[in-house]
C-alpha cells in the first residue's frame, strides 16, 4: 500500500500538550519537514524557549536545549559557535522573542548569526493564561488589557519583520501564516528555505508565523482561523521582508 | 620548566583558559576585568577560537550556556554589576548541570557602586547568586600565579562534576602584575555523552533542560545534585595555612585580604604576638572542618574582608561559635591596611587575655 | 631585602611605565615582585600611582602604603604621600614640577629637575626615566647591568629610537 501521508522523521511520535486548534502542532510539523528536507536530523540542535512551546524539546527528534525566557537566540549563538556544522534553530513565541528577548533577537539578527529563528506570533501569552503580548492588536481584549489594548497607554504592537529588515545582518526574513491550507503550504516553503539558507551558510533567517490561540482568544478553532485572517494578517502583512540572496540575483 | 613571565592577573586568566583548551569566550566590557576580553579578542581568532562581544552580560552568559551545552570548554568574565545580570543564566546552568567558568573580578557595590576592588559579592557567589537550590564551586585566587592555576582547576572541576565554577577575584588581583609560570594542561579529557552535538541518527536525542512541572521529579533532580555537592565538599576543599600551628589569633581572609593579612601576621610575630593566617581557596565548599580544627588551639579569630561582614558568617559557622570572631573590614573599594589588621589582631588577642 | 616603591604623578607622565620597567628588571634578576597600578578613569589625565615591590621574600600585600622609595612627579602626589614614607626612606622629586620642598627631615630627598632636563636635551616626555636613573644610582633597587634587557621588555623592538632615548635618559639620571 502506498504511503500518502506520514509523520516527518524529525518529529517525535509522542502526544503533544497543545490545545485543540492551536497552531503549534502545525508549525512543529513544518519545522520537522524542513529538517528532513535537508537531511539534517542527526546534526540539528534546537533551542526551546519559554511559553507554550517550552516543551517543544520533547517533540523534535533532535538534540534540544531549553533556554531562559527570551534568551534562545543567545543560547543558539553559543551552540552554533561551538559546532558550526550543526543546524541550529530557535522556536520562540511573541512574548519570548518580541518582549523579554528583544535585545537577543535584534543582536543575533544584526550579527547575521547563522541560525534559523521560528517566531510564532499569536498575539497573546498562552502559557500564563492569556495576557497582553507585545504583538497583541490595538483594542485586543486580554487578561491584562481587559478594556482592550489602549495604544495611548501601552503603545503599539511590535512589528518584528519590519523592524529586523532594517538591519544589514539578516539573510532572510519572511512572515507567513498557518490559518489556511494555502498559507500552511507557503509557510512550509519559507521554513524549508530558512533551514536551507543556514545549511548553505547564508546567515540569519527568521520566519514569523501568524498563528492562533483559540483557548485564550476565547474562540472555536475555526473562528480563530477566521479572526487571524481578518484581524492579524491585515496588521501583519504576509510576505518576504528580506532576502539577501534573491536581491543579489 | 616553563618561562616565568610578567602578566596582569586578568591576562593570566585568559592565557590559562586557552592553555587548558578553552576556545570560546563570550563577554561584555566592564571595569576592572576588561583585559580578559581584550586578551581573548586578540588571541582567539589566531587559534581558531571564538571571541564574541555580546550585546549584554545576559546574552553573554546565555551564549556560554549554548556552547557548554554543545560540549566545549567555555567561559565568560565580568565584574559585580555584570555578574548580577548573569545571575539568571547561572541559575539555569546549575539547573541544567552545565560546566563552564564564570570569572568575577569584583568591584564595590551595591548598584553601580565603584570600580575599585571589593569582596562584597561573597554571599552572592557562595550562596549561588540566582534563584533556586544550587551552589557554584567558588575559587578565590590570591596571586597572579593562582589566577592562572585556579582557572585551569575551575575548568577541570566544572567538567568533573558538571557544575559551573566561579573564579572570585577582585580589582587588585585583576590589575596587578606578578611573575607567573604558565603550564600547558592540554585541555579537558572529560567525556560528555550528554552534549548536544546532533544525534548522528545513532542515539536518542539529548535534552538539556531545567524544567520539571512534576514536584517529586524536580525534588529528585535537586537531591541528586546535592549528592554531587557533597562529593565536592568531601574531595575538593582547598585552603592555605600560614603560621597557624601555635597561633593564638588566626586571621581569616581570601584574595587580596589574605595578602594584606600575611603582612600583618608577620608584624604581629615580630611584636611577639602568636598570630597566624588561614586562607580559604575554595570559598564554596568552605574549608570548615580545617578551620574548626584550628579552633581547638587558637583563642580568637579575625575575619579580614573587603565587605561589611560576609566572610565572617562562614568563619563563625565553621568554628561553631566556640571562639570569638571579630571583623576587620573596609568596603566600597577601600582595602584594609596591614596596620589596621595588626590592630585587629592585637585587639582580639587582648580581649582573650582579659577574658580568661 | 624588600623595597616598597611608590611612583605617583599625573596620567601621561609614564608612572605605570616606570613601574613596569622596574618590575621587568626585577623579573630578570629572578626576584619576587609585584606591580599594581591605580586603575580606571584616574589613568586618563588625573592623578595616577603605581606600587612596585621588589623583594627576596614572597610579596605579601601588593599595595604600597608605606613606601621605602617614593617617586613624585607632581605637587598633589607629594602632598598626598610625603607622610607615608617610612623613616629613613627616600623621596625623589621632579623639582621642575613640584614647587615646594619636602618637609620631612627623617628621609633622604633627591631633587631632580627631570622635566627641565628632559626638555633641554630635546627628548620631551622622559622625565620619568631621568628620575628613575637617579633612583637606580642611589637606591640599589635593581642592578645597572639589567637596564638594557629590562628596557627591551618594555619598549617594543619597533621603536628602536625610543629604546635609545630611554636608556640615555636613565644614564643622565645617574648623576642627578
C115-165: pLDDT as tens digits: 999 999 887 889 999 999 999 999 989 999 999 999 999 998 788 888 999
Mean of pLDDT values over B268-289: 98
Question: pLDDT, tens digit, for every residue of B136-163?
Answer: 999 999 999 999 999 999 999 999 999 9
Model pLDDT, residue B184:
72
What is the SS3 assignment for B341? helix
Mean of pLDDT values over C62-77: 96
| CA B106 to chain CA mean position, Å | 10
In Å, how far is A198's CA from the nearest CA of chain B?
16
Across the interface, do B197 and A66 touch by the CB < 8 Å criterion?
no
What residue spans of A7-96 are helical by DSSP H?
24-37, 72-82, 94-95
B171/B278 same-domain check: no
Model pLDDT, residue C47:
81
Residue B164 at interface with chain C, using a CB cutoff of 8 Å: no
Average pLDDT, 10 consecutive residues per value, chain A (249 residues) = 91 95 97 98 98 96 98 98 98 98 98 98 96 98 97 97 98 98 98 98 98 96 97 98 84
- Residues spanned by the domain of C103: 2-174
Return the number of CB contacts < 8 Å for B and C: 64
Which residues, 6 or more positions from C104, have their beta carbon under 8 angstroms from its beta carbon? Answer: C82, C83, C85, C91
Q: Domain locations in chain A?
A: 24-248
Across the interface, do B171 and C39 touch by the CB < 8 Å criterion?
yes
In Å, how far are A67, A100, A127, C160 from A133, measured between CA atoms? 19, 10, 12, 64
B280/B171 same-domain check: no
* Cβ atoms of residues C91 and C82 within 8 Å: yes
B214/B119 same-domain check: yes
Rounded Cα distance between B281 and B167, Å, is 10
Model pLDDT, residue A34:
98
Residue A74 at interface with chain B, using a CB cutoff of 8 Å: yes
Question: pLDDT, tens digit, for every residue of C85-101?
Answer: 999 999 999 999 999 99
- Residues spanned by the domain of B287: 240-355
CB within 8 Å of chain B, chain A residues 114-143: none
B79/B217 same-domain check: yes
Rounded (to 5) percent helix, strand, coil in chain C? 40, 20, 35
Q: Is the pLDDT of residue C63 over 50?
A: yes
Q: Is the pLDDT of residue B326 over 60?
A: yes
Residues of B whose CB is below 8 A from A76: 66
Model pLDDT, residue C123:
77
Model pLDDT, residue B117:
95
Residue in B closest to A85 by C-alpha: B197
B195/B261 same-domain check: no
The per-residue pLDDT of chain B, averaged, comes to 96
Q: CATH no. for residue C26?
A: 3.40.920.10
Across the interface, do A81 and B62 touch by the CB < 8 Å criterion?
no
B223/B274 same-domain check: no
What would you report as the CA-atom Rg of chain C, rounded to the nearest whole angstrom?
15
Neighbours of chain C (3+ CB pairs under 8 A): B
Query: What single-letter DSSP state applies at residue C86?
Result: P
Which residues, 6 or more positions from B296, have their beta carbon under 8 angstroms from its beta carbon? Answer: none
CATH number of A24-248: 3.40.50.970
- Per-residue confidence band for B352, with pLDDT thresholds at 50, 70 and 90: confident
What is the SS3 assignment for B303? strand
Residue in A closest to B88 by C-alpha: A68
Q: How many domains are contained in chain C?
A: 1
The grid coordinates listed for A98 are: 518580541
Nearest to A93 by CA among A141, A130, A53: A53
Question: pLDDT, tens digit, for every residue of B97-128?
Answer: 999 999 999 999 999 999 999 999 999 999 98
B102/B220 same-domain check: yes
Mean of pLDDT values over B326-340: 96
Nearest to A140 by CA among A241, A195, A218: A218
Chains C and A touch (3+ CB pairs under 8 A): no
Mean of pLDDT values over B68-81: 98
B184/B300 same-domain check: no
B195/B268 same-domain check: no
In Å, how far is B256's CA from the nearest CA of chain C?
7
B134/B275 same-domain check: no
Across the interface, do A45 and B24 touch by the CB < 8 Å criterion?
no
Q: CATH no. for residue B23?
A: 3.40.50.970
Chains B and C touch (3+ CB pairs under 8 A): yes
Chain B residues at the A interface, defined by Cβ less than 8 Å, are 24, 26, 50, 52, 54-56, 58-60, 62-72, 74, 88-89, 92, 96, 196-202, 205-211
Residues of C whose CB is below 8 A from B6: 20, 23-24, 27, 35, 153
Residues of B whose CB is below 8 A from A74: 54, 58-60, 62-63, 65-66
Q: What is the pTM of this model?
A: 0.95
Q: Is the pLDDT of residue B356 over 50?
A: no
Of A43, A62, A65, the CB nearest to B66: A65
Question: pLDDT, tens digit, for every residue of C35-44?
Answer: 999 876 544 5
DSSP for A136-156, written as a single string: PPTT--BTTBTT---HHHH-P
Model pLDDT, residue C31:
95
Nearest to B44 by CA among B23, B21, B27, B65: B23
* Alpha-carbon dihedral A99, A101, A103, A107, rounded to 10 degrees: -130
Question: pLDDT, tens digit, for every residue of B204-226?
Answer: 999 999 999 999 999 999 999 99
Which residues, 6 or more positions from C32, have their beta carbon under 8 angstroms from its beta carbon? Answer: B179, C26, C53, C54, C55, C56, C57, C58, C59
Residue in A closest to B98 by C-alpha: A65
B266/B215 same-domain check: no
| ipTM value for the complex | 0.95
Rounded Cα distance between B110 and A112, Å, is 36
Of C20, C39, C63, the CB nearest to B32: C39
Using a pLDDT cut of 70, give the percent of chain B over it: 99
Q: Is the pLDDT of residue C52 over 80?
A: yes
B220/B289 same-domain check: no
Chain C residues at the B interface, defined by Cβ less than 8 Å, are 20, 23-24, 27, 30, 32-37, 39-41, 59-63, 65, 153
Rounded Cα distance between B180 and B1, Å, is 12
Q: How many domains are contained in chain B?
A: 2
Interface test with C, best of B1, B9, B178, B267 (most C CBs within 10 A): B178
Amino acid at each position: 500500500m502506498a504511503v500518502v501521508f506520514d509523520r516527518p522523521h524529525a518529529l517525535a511520535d509522542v502526544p503533544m500538550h497543545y490545545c485543540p486548534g492551536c497552531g503549534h502542532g502545525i508549525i512543529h510539523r513544518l519545522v520537522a519537514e524542513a529538517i528532513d528536507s535537508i537531511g539534517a536530523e542527526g546534526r540539528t540542535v534546537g533551542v526551546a524557549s519559554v511559553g507554550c512551546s517550552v516543551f517543544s524539546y520533547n517533540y523534535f527528534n533532535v538534540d534540544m536545549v531549553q533556554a531562559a525566557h527570551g534568551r534562545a537566540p543567545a543560547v543558539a549563538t553559543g551552540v552554533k559557535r561551538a559546532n558550526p556544522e550543526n543546524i541550529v534553530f530557535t522556536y520562540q513565541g511573541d512574548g519570548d522573542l518580541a518582549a523579554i528577548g528583544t535585545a537577543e533577537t535584534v543582536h543575533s539578527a544584526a550579527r547575521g548569526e547563522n541560525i534559523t529563528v521560528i517566531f510564532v506570533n499569536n498575539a497573546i501569552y498562552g502559557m500564563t493564561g492569556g495576557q497582553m503580548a507585545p504583538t497583541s492588536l490595538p483594542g485586543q481584549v486580554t487578561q491584562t488589557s481587559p478594556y482592550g489594548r489602549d495604544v495611548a497607554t501601552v503603545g503599539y504592537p511590535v512589528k518584528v519583520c519590519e523592524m529586523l529588515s532594517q538591519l544589514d545582518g539578516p539573510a532572510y526574513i519572511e512572515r507567513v501564516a498557518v490559518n489556511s491550507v494555502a498559507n500552511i503550504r507557503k509557510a512550509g516553503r519559507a521554513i524549508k528555505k530558512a533551514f536551507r539558507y543556514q545549511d548553505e551558510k547564508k546567515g540569519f533567517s527568521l520566519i514569523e508565523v501568524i498563528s492562533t490561540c483559540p483557548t485564550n482568544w476565547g474562540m472555536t478553532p475555526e473562528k480563530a482561523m477566521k479572526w487571524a485572517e481578518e484581524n492579524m494578517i491585515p496588521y501583519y502583512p504576509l510576505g518576504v521582508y528580506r532576502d539577501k540572496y534573491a536581491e543579489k540575483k | 620548566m616553563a618561562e616565568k613571565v610578567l602578566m596582569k592577573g586578568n591576562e593570566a586568566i585568559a592565557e590559562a583558559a586557552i592553555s587548558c583548551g578553552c576556545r570560546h569566550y563570550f563577554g561584555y566590557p566592564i571595569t576592572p576585568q576588561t583585559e580578559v576580553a581584550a586578551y581573548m579578542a586578540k588571541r582567539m581568532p589566531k587559534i581558531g577560537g571564538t571571541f564574541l562581544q555580546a550585546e549584554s552580560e545576559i546574552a553573554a552568559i546565555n551564549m556560554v550556556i549554548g556552547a557548554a551545552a554543545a560540549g566545549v570548554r567555555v567561559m565568560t568574565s565580568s565584574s559585580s554589576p555584570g555578574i548580577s545580570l548573569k545571575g539568571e543564566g547561572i541559575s539555569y546552568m546549575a539547573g541544567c548541570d552545565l560546566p563552564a567558568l564564570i570569572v568575577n573580578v569584583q568591584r564595590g557595590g551595591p548598584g553601580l557602586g565603584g570600580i575599585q576592588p571589593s569582596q562584597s559579592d561573597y554571599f552572592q557567589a557562595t550562596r549561588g547568586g540566582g534563584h533556586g537550590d544550587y551552589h557554584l564551586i567558588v575559587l578565590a585566587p590570591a596571586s597572579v600565579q593562582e589566577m592562572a592555576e585556579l582557572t585551569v582547576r575551575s575548568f577541570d572541576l566544572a567538567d568533573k562534576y558538571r557544575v559551573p565554577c566561579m573564579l572570585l577575584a577582585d580589582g587588585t588581583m585583576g590589575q596587578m602584575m606578578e611573575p607567573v609560570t604558565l603550564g600547558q594542561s592540554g585541555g579537558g579529557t572529560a567525556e560528555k555523552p550528554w552534549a548536544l552535538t546532533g544525534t548522528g541518527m545513532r542515539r536518542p536525542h539529548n535534552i538539556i533542560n531545567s524544567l520539571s512541572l512534576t514536584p517529586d521529579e524536580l525534588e529528585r533532580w535537586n537531591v541528586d545534585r546535592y549528592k554531587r555537592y557533597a562529593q565536592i565538599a568531601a574531595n575538593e576543599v582547598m585552603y592555605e595555612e600560614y603560621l597557624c600551628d601555635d597561633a593564638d589569633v588566626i586571621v581569616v581572609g581570601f584574595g587580596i585580604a589574605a595578602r594584606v593579612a600575611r603582612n600583618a601576621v608577620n608584624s604581629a610575630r615580630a611584636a611577639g604576638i602568636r598570630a597566624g593566617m588561614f586562607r580559604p581557596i575554595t570559598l564554596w565548599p568552605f574549608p570548615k572542618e580545617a578551620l574548626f580544627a584550628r579552633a581547638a588551639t587558637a583563642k580568637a579569630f579575625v575575619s579580614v574582608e573587603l565587605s561589611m561582614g560576609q566572610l565572617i558568617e562562614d568563619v563563625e559557622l565553621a568554628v561553631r561559635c566556640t571562639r570569638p570572631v571579630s571583623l576587620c573590614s573596609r568596603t566600597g573599594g577601600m582595602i584594609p591596611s596591614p596596620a589596621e589588621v595588626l590592630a585587629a589582631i592585637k585587639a582580639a588577642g587582648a580581649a582573650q587575655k582579659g577574658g580568661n | 631585602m624588600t623595597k616598597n616603591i611608590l611612583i605617583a604623578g599625573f596620567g601621561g607622565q609614564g608612572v605605570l611605565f616606570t613601574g613596569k620597567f622596574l618590575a621587568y628588571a626585577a623579573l630578570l634578576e629572578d626576584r619576587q615582585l609585584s606591580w599594581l597600578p591605580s586603575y580606571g578613569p584616574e589613568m586618563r589625565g588625573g592623578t595616577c600611582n603605581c606600587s612596585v615591590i621588589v623583594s627576596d621574600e614572597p610579596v605579601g600585600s601588593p599595595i604600597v602604603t608605606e613606601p621605602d622609595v617614593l617617586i613624585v612627579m607632581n605637587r598633589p602626589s607629594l602632598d598626598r604621600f610625603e607622610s607615608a614614607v617610612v623613616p629613613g626612606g627616600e623621596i625623589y622629586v621632579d623639582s621642575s614640577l613640584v614647587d615646594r620642598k619636602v618637609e620631612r627631615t627623617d628621609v633622604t630627598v633627591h631633587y631632580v629637575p627631570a622635566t627641565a632636563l628632559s626638555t633641554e636635551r630635546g627628548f620631551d616626555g622622559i622625565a620619568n626615566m631621568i628620575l628613575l636613573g637617579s633612583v637606580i644610582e642611589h637606591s640599589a633597587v635593581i642592578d645597572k647591568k639589567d637596564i638594557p634587557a629590562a628596557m627591551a621588555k618594555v619598549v617594543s623592538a619597533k621603536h628602536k629610537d625610543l629604546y635609545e632615548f630611554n636608556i640615555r635618559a636613565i644614564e643622565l639620571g645617574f648623576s642627578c
